[in-house]
Amino acid sequence: MKGGLVLHLTGVDGERIIFMYYKEIDSFPEDFLWGAASAAYQIEGAWNEDGKGPSIWDEFSKIEGKTFEGTNGEVAVDHYHRYKEDISYMKEMGLKAYRFSVAWSRVIPDGEGEINEKGLDFYENLVDELIKNGIEPVLTLYHWDMPQALQDKYGGWESREVIPAFEKYCEALFLRLRDKVKYWVTMNEQNVFTSLGYRWAAHPPAVTDLKRMYAANHVVNLANATAISLFHQLVPKGLIGPSYGYGPIYPLTADPSDVLAAENAEAFNNDWTLDVYCRGTYPKFVMKQLEHLGIAPQVTAEDSRLLTSATPDFLGINYYHGGTVQQNRIEKPENQSSTEKNFSKTDPYLMQPKEEQAMSPEVPMFNGIENPYLEKTKWGWEIDPVGFRVALRRIQSRYDLPVFVTENGLGAIDVLTEDKKIHDDYRIDYLNEHLVEMKKAIADGVEVIGYCAWSFTDLLSWLNGYKKRYGFVYVDRDEHDEKTLERIPKDSFYWYQQVIKENGENLS
């Protein structure tokens, strides 16, 4: 293997130890898709123009206290009217791929009725503009913004009635764009929108009910499988897969009880969704725990046939950080260390009343805790580049599918100087470290199709307004003032431009 150096050492008991590090890492594939990403609600604006219907986020953002200082996506960064300008910056950067999502209610305003041709035209024009500028479109079908009409009529993802509506929506896009779009993403971060929407009430529909959460999650799985099956019929030359918010789980110590806790957490947090995506079956361990609590989803024989029939062509992975656990707090209550007490300020499980904690499926399985070896962002997210490599390795080992990194990035407070510059060295450092680890994972044997940084322009953070910025391109606006909406490339824009030009060859 290129750059591989194998060392043979003798251990303390005389046994031979073999390990490897890379003196020089393999190059990225020549056709590697260097990209960036976005989501419709967070950038488009034009929330009620050209026949678009309201989405659940259009309504949820009006609930007092649900979003930072009442921010919403009615204007966002006005990508709907400025997409050609934004794509011109993508071309200047040298972007090879751009991941975007389609607003379901822009294509079918009520979610299941008449198709809005103006909505379809917008996305076809967007795709044509990308192709004209040499950029591969990566289309996400669902990025959290269900039509409000379906939520009102059926209860959203809690009803199987939504599945044929989603299928109709997907079919409209498949038929219109199948000759222009190769890469398609079904669901974005199902693990996030179901838990925040149906457990913690931080996203729409603002429910706090575990049984309803697992029921809705199962319906989403069925909709995902339905879309993949239809896609393989209608778009035989395309590739499709879901995007999952993956983070590897570590044991706090080598204590076997902590190792077991990490196994439990990996199964509960990751296998629960990924096994269904890739194998069509729910992991038996987690299902059994949910059955004991009376909150497991009802899976019919027909459901099982559908789930096993729909295999993704790749897995989209959104990576930001993983998690660390120790033995559950029931068997070892003395593990309530000062570290854990500090962590409880942000751990939703520990913020629950004691009687609710007892009903949480996590409590008897594992105990989430801070990782003492990792630094954090200003928003309290752990920074773990090596975990990125661990994540990619685990995905490859367990499911042996190509991986498309569909999100990875740093949210930060960016300062615009008087001469209109944004010096975001912290973002460059973050991305550089993660790209190096991704490159190592490719050298390890992981097949990675491409990498879409989050995000291309600044955008509306779902719950943090415009204070938390992710983009390579600064957008001149804040929570209270749309200002000029001027696009201003940051230092990271020019850094990534060079990375793309060199195909990642000189990452340090």
Active site residues: 407
Which DSSP helix (H) or strand (E) runs through 382?
A: strand 382-383
Q: For residue 373, what are the contacts with CB-CB under 8 A and spacing of at least 6?
A: none
Alpha helices per DSSP H over 54-147: 56-60, 79-93, 104-107, 117-132
Q: Which residue has the tokens 């192709």?
A: 131
Q: Could you tell me the maximum CA-CA distance found in the chain, to the nearest angstrom?
A: 74
Which DSSP helix (H) or strand (E) runs through 149?
A: helix 148-154
Give the type of residue at 228: I
Give the type of residue at 42: Q
Q: In the structure encoding, which two tokens stand for residue 230, read together? A: 């239809």
Which residue, 64, 42, 37, is CA-closest to 55? 42
Q: What is the dihedral of CA 115, 118, 122, 127, to 10 degrees?
A: 60
Which residue, 401, 436, 427, is CA-closest to 36? 427
Q: What is the dihedral of CA 152, 65, 144, 428, to 10 degrees?
A: 170
Give the type of residue at 224: N
Handedness of CA 161, 167, 170, 175 (dihedral sign): negative
Q: In the structure encoding, which two tokens stand for residue 9, read together? A: 């050492």
Cα end-to-end span (Å), the chain: 20
